[in-house]
Amino acid sequence: MATVETRDIRKLFGDVKAVDGVDLLVKEGEFLVFLGPSGCGKTTLLRMIAGLETQTSGDILIGGQVVNDLPPRARKIAMVFQSYALYPHMTVYRNIAFPLKAQGFPGDQIPQKVEWAASTFGIGKLLHRKPRELSGGERQRVALARAVVREPSVFLLDEPLSNLDAKLRTSARDELQQFQRRIGTTTIYVTHDQVEAMGLGDRIAVMSGGKVRQLGSPQEVYNEPADTFVAGFLGSPPMNLFERDDYIAGFRPETFLPVGLHDTSEPLVTLWAKIHRVEHLGADRLLYGTMRDTFPNEKVIINIPFTVEMQITPGEVYEFAVKEKDIKFFDRSTGLRTEPRRFWEKRS
Amino acid sequence: MTKHTQSLADNERWLGRVMIAPAIVYIVALVGFPFFLALFYSVSNITVGSTETSFIGLENFRHLLHNRTFLRALRNTFVFAFVSQALVLVLAKTLALSLLKDFRGKWVVRLLILLPWVAPISLGSIGWLWILDSVYSVINWTGRALGIFGPATWPIWLGQPTLAMASIITVHVWRLLPLATVILLGGLTSIPQDIHDAAAVDGAGFWRHNFQITIPLVLPIMLVAMLFGVVFAFTDMIVIYVLTRGGPYDTTQVLASLAFFTGIDGGDLAAGAAIALFLFPVLAVSAILMLRLARRTEVT
Ligand SMILES: Nc1ncnc2c1ncn2[C@@H]1O[C@H](COP(=O)(O)OP(=O)(O)OP(=O)(O)O)[C@@H](O)[C@H]1O
Ligand SMILES: [Mg+2]
């Protein structure tokens, strides 16, 4: 177990700034998720921590020790790749035993360790098979078993679940989290799937354009986005953002409800919107519309839980309300979060 | 008319036959026919210009086994094939690995390595003839100028049996290296980068990485290349023909060149055919073995 720290780390590929000055401290035993859109530099950052890619500048520390010049094998890490990267010519047993042999583990204890790792992931019966004789889910387990068998101090996982179907992904996510809690190894997990990030992470580092935009718990990044990128990236549908003179105001679709549905103990802001289209998504009802008065003709998305039975007809104008504290403000030029403003009339 | 062409193009059975016909004609005319002719010659007493021939059974082969030149050539063939293959394998692997890395001017190096393959072999060999010449040898003059060769050292590269054999092997290796390198390079680039990364993270050092990951994964393609190389070394004679013509005193003959000099130059067709066919069973068996091996090793 160890901490992982990056200090102003950068990576240039020619002119492309893949990673552009990242400062991070992953705590001991923590499950940290790198979340961001495709091409934002998540994999590159992870590969630099693994030592598979050399940083252009900056320092990497594992367990408080600078590892800039250490090769991957000296960093006491284990990595699971998106493709799983199982050795195709070796049986499952030899795949799992490979890191032990490579690190000079005493030969007579290897079978026992392999058995342990395999049974942890329920693949004890597959040890004699070759990777091509396994299903996607089984391969993923073999990859995990190969990673844990050497008891590394840090786990690095690069979208390990993205090749699984939706159902398997949910159960694998569950198992992965339970397993991590049990062994308590510091873990860095890369994904572009926000549901995965929210569900797994102790903290989430939201990345874009090679930078970390926000680092915080799932609740923090969701409820208190640090800038308009984070606000627009998280949540589906994302936060409604409205540009005004020098600021941007925003609120989440599920906080903007028909007036009658709010309890009135908290200060509310009421706004009118014309609804154009209604979408029924099982648990939710999505309303697509445009705002009236304060933000004329700006598009808005509203998310009402299906338990609300109110009739809503496309083409009609309705009065909605949002709690004052649910409205977030951002600077228009920098996109960064600012102090709350008032754009509404004081409600009498 | 249109109808007729269309029906031929549409009729897969006939189209298949028509398209494969040239290949069959080619194989029958240039491989099959000479092969059976050679089989027939090898059990006869035919010579160039003989008017009648008779069947003499395995007499030609029995005769060969008592012929010193033949035995020498037989040994040379094996030395030539295996030493050159081993060298090609090691050098091609090294070259391919270094060409896999990115560095400045990589394309120049690639071009230089491929050059021997695209240049006509006789041209290259003539270059080598000059390099290895008894009077003008570049190696000798350079060695002398640098003081590596003393005043009494003046190797005659193509005139001393051991040196001549070494020279032939060197030129053969030089000649096969580009193709072998490119084949291996193809095999190496087909291994996903993730596999190499996984091995690096798993703690494999240089040797383990090479012998347990890289080589097993390129083994199938390597075996095919090796099969090709061995068969080629067993049957090819052009380097020997250009450099030494089997000399000095037939000490650098291999079976292919001996068969040529005996059968065509010497006119003893029966003996030539017997020499040429002597290793046929060995080659056929080794081809079958290697192809089976290649099919059994698996890559995904
Ligand atoms: N070897 C490379 N050479 C040049 N550019 C690269 C290289 N690797 C990555 N890049 C570039 O760096 C940027 C970040 O790539 P990276 O693979 O880290 O993205 P990512 O966040 O992992 O995306 P994804 O979610 O699609 O995997 C991209 O713009 C990519 O084109
Ligand atoms: Mg990636």
- Ion ligand 2, residues whose Cβ is below 5 A away: A 43
Q: How far is the CA of A47 from the centre of ligand 2 (A)?
A: 10
**Which pLDDT score, from 0 to 100, does residue A175 have?**
84
Cα–Cα–Cα angle for B278, B281, B282, nearest 5°?
Answer: 90
User: Closest partner residue to B197 among A85, A103, A130, by Cβ?
Assistant: A85
Residue B232: φ, ψ to 5°: -60, -45
CA distances from A15 to A18, A46, B219 (A): 9, 20, 39
Q: Is B190 on the interface with A (CB under 8 A)?
A: no
**Which pLDDT score, from 0 to 100, does residue B300 have?**
41
CA end-to-end span of chain A, whole Å? Answer: 57
Upper half-sphere CA count for residue B229 (Cβ side, 13 Å): 30
Pocket-testing residue among A42, A46, A81, A233, ligand 1, by greatest number of atoms within 8 A of Cβ? A42
**Which pLDDT score, from 0 to 100, does residue B118 have?**
77
**Range of B257's domain?**
67-299
Amino acid at B136: Y
- Give chain B positions within 8 Å (CB) of A86: 198
A343 and A332 Cβ atoms separated by less than 8 Å: no
Q: Which of A25-34, A119-128, B237-246 has the highest average model confidence (pLDDT)?
A: A25-34
Upper half-sphere CA count for residue A119 (Cβ side, 13 Å): 6
Residues B203 and B251 in one domain: yes
Cβ–ligand 1 distance for A16 under 6 Å, the answer yes
Mean pLDDT estimate for chain B: 79
* Confidence class for position B2, pLDDT limits 50, 70, 90: low
* pLDDT tens, position by position, A223-248: 999 999 999 999 889 999 998 888 89
Pocket-testing residue among A10, A16, A52, ligand 1, by greatest number of atoms within 8 A of Cβ? A16
Residue B130 placed within a domain: yes
Return the structure tokens found at A328. Answer: 């977030």
Strand partners, A66: A61
Segment B105-133 mean pLDDT: 78
For residue B205, what is the nearest residue in chain A, using CA coordinates?
A: A102
**Which pLDDT score, from 0 to 100, does residue B28 have?**
85
Cβ–ligand 1 distance for A40 under 6 Å, the answer yes
* pLDDT tens, position by position, B15-31: 888 888 888 888 888 88
Which has the closest alpha carbon to B182: B222, B128, B142?
B222
Q: Which class does domain A4-223 fall in?
A: alpha beta
Min Cα separation B215/chain A (Å): 11
- Give chain B positions within 8 Å (CB) of A81: 194, 197-198
Count of the separate structural domains present in chain B: 2
Kindly state the DSSP code that residue A337 receives in the 8-state scheme. B
Radius of gyration of chain B, Cα coordinates, nearest whole angstrom: 24
Residues B85 and B5 in one domain: no
Q: Do B300 and A131 touch (CB under 8 A)?
A: yes
Cβ–ligand 1 distance for A44 under 6 Å, the answer yes
A139 and A81 Cβ atoms separated by less than 8 Å: no
H runs (alpha helix) in A211-278? 218-223, 228-233
B154 and B226 Cβ atoms separated by less than 8 Å: no
Residues B92 and B195 in one domain: yes
Cβ–ligand 1 distance for A42 under 6 Å, the answer yes
Amino acid at B142: T
Segment A291-310 mean pLDDT: 87
**Which pLDDT score, from 0 to 100, does residue A260 have?**
83
Helix (H, G, I), strand (E, B) or coil at A323: strand
* pLDDT tens, position by position, A239-286: 999 988 888 999 999 999 998 888 778 888 888 999 999 999 888 899
Q: List the single best residue of A89, A129, A135, A190 to mutate versus B (max B Cβ within 10 A).
A: A89
- Number of neighbouring beta carbons within 10 Å of residue B260: 20
Instruction: Look at ligand 1, atom 25, and give the residue with the nearest C-alpha.
Output: A38
Residues B129 and B24 in one domain: no
B112 and B98 Cβ atoms separated by less than 8 Å: no
Residue B61 placed within a domain: no
Residue B128 placed within a domain: yes
For residue A158, what is the nearest residue in chain B, using CA coordinates?
A: B194
* Confidence class for position B4, pLDDT limits 50, 70, 90: low
On the question of pLDDT at A1 being above 70, the answer is: no
Q: List the single best residue of A43, A44, A46, A73 to mutate versus B (max B Cβ within 10 A).
A: A73
Predicted structure pTM score: 0.77
Amino acid at B213: I
Strand partners, A78: A155
User: Closest partner residue to A83 among B192, B200, B297, by Cβ?
Assistant: B192
Q: How far is the CA of B33 from the centre of ligand 2 (A)?
A: 60
For residues B208 and B247, what is the distance between their CA atoms, to the nearest angstrom? 45
User: Closest partner residue to A98 among B202, B205, B216, by Cβ?
Assistant: B202
Helix (H, G, I), strand (E, B) or coil at A12: strand
**Domains A4-223 and A228-347 belong to one CATH topology:** no
Q: List the single best residue of A49, A87, A101 to mutate versus B (max B Cβ within 10 A).
A: A87
**Which residue ranges make up each domain of chain A?**
4-223, 228-347
Q: Is B293 on the interface with A (CB under 8 A)?
A: no
Q: How far is the CA of A42 from the centre of ligand 2 (A)?
A: 6
On the question of pLDDT at A60 being above 90, the answer is: yes
**Which pLDDT score, from 0 to 100, does residue A101 have?**
92
Min Cα separation B218/chain A (Å): 11
Residues B120 and B180 in one domain: yes
Ligand 1 closest atom vs CA A44: 18
**Which pLDDT score, from 0 to 100, does residue B1 have?**
47
Q: What is the DSSP string of chain B?
A: -HHHHHHHHH-HHHHHHHHHHHHHHHHIIIIIHHHHHHHHHHTB---TT-S---B-TTHHHHHHTT-HHHHHHHHHHHHHHHHHHHHHHHHHHHHHHHHHS--TTHHHHHHHHHHHHHS-HHHHHHHHHHHT-TTT-HHHHHHHHHTSS-TT----TTTSHHHHHHHHHHHHHHHHHHHHHHHHHHHHHTS-HHHHHHHHHHT--HHHIIIIIIHHHHHHHHHHHHHHHHHHHHH--HHHHHHTTT-STTTT--HHHHHHIIIIIS--HHHHHHHHHTTHHHHHHHHHHHHHHHHHS---
**Which pLDDT score, from 0 to 100, does residue A223 have?**
92
**What b/e string do you get for B213-242 counting C-beta neighbours within 10 Å, with b at 16 or more?**
bbebbbbbbbbbbbbbbbbbbbbbbebbbb
On the question of pLDDT at B122 being above 80, the answer is: no
Q: Do A77 and B201 touch (CB under 8 A)?
A: yes
Residues B185 and B291 in one domain: yes
Specify the residue for token string 């102090």: A339
Residues B90 and B218 in one domain: yes
**Which pLDDT score, from 0 to 100, does residue A348 have?**
42
On the question of pLDDT at B98 being above 60, the answer is: yes
- Give chain B positions within 8 Å (CB) of A82: 194
Burial of B211 (0-12, 13-18, 19+ CB in 10 A): exposed
Residues B175 and B274 in one domain: yes
Residue B274 placed within a domain: yes
On the question of pLDDT at B81 being above 50, the answer is: yes
Residues B210 and B279 in one domain: yes
Cα–Cα–Cα angle for A161, A163, A166, nearest 5°?
Answer: 75
* pLDDT tens, position by position, A150-162: 889 999 999 988 8
Residue B57 placed within a domain: no
Cβ–ligand 1 distance for A47 under 6 Å, the answer no
Q: Is B201 on the interface with A (CB under 8 A)?
A: yes
Q: Is B200 on the interface with A (CB under 8 A)?
A: yes
For residues A84 and B129, what is the distance between their CA atoms, to the nearest angstrom? 54
Domain of B191, CATH number, reads 1.10.3720.10
For residues B251 and B167, what is the distance between their CA atoms, to the nearest angstrom? 13
For residues B208 and B210, what is the distance between their CA atoms, to the nearest angstrom? 5
Strand A154-158 versus strand A186-191 pairing type: parallel
Min Cα separation A148/chain B (Å): 11
Residue B237 placed within a domain: yes
- Give chain A positions within 8 Å (CB) of B204: 73, 98, 102
Ligand 1 closest atom vs CA A42: 21
Return the structure tokens found at B179. Answer: 């193709």
A22 and A43 Cβ atoms separated by less than 8 Å: no
Return the structure tokens found at A252. Answer: 């989440």
* Confidence class for position A346, pLDDT limits 50, 70, 90: low
Q: List the single best residue of B202, B211, B293 to mutate versus A (max A Cβ within 10 A).
A: B202
Ligand 1 closest atom vs CA A190: 22
CA distances from B166 to B144, B235, B256 (A): 20, 18, 18
On the question of pLDDT at A167 being above 90, the answer is: no
Residue B184 placed within a domain: yes
* Confidence class for position A90, pLDDT limits 50, 70, 90: very high
Cβ–ligand 1 distance for A11 under 6 Å, the answer no
Q: Do B200 and A72 touch (CB under 8 A)?
A: yes
On the question of pLDDT at B50 being above 80, the answer is: no
Q: Do B203 and A73 touch (CB under 8 A)?
A: yes
Return the structure tokens found at A55. Answer: 């940083």
Amino acid at B195: I
Residue B26 placed within a domain: yes
For residues B276 and B180, what is the distance between their CA atoms, to the nearest angstrom? 26
**Which pLDDT score, from 0 to 100, does residue B6 have?**
62
Return the structure tokens found at A77. Answer: 């890490």
CB pairs under 8 A between A and B: 71
Cβ–ligand 1 distance for A210 under 6 Å, the answer no
Radius of gyration of chain A, Cα coordinates, nearest whole angstrom: 24
B78 and B278 Cβ atoms separated by less than 8 Å: no
Pocket-testing residue among A40, A82, A193, A233, ligand 1, by greatest number of atoms within 8 A of Cβ? A40
Kindly state the DSSP code that residue A141 receives in the 8-state scheme. H
Q: Which class does domain A228-347 fall in?
A: mainly beta
**Which pLDDT score, from 0 to 100, does residue B266 have?**
74
Specify the residue for token string 């290796």: B173
* pLDDT tens, position by position, B234-282: 877 778 887 778 777 777 777 788 778 877 777 777 777 778 887 788 7
Segment B79-87 mean pLDDT: 89
Return the structure tokens found at A187. Answer: 């873990």
Specify the residue for token string 């949002």: A322
What H or E segment, with its residue span, contains residue A78? Answer: strand A77-80
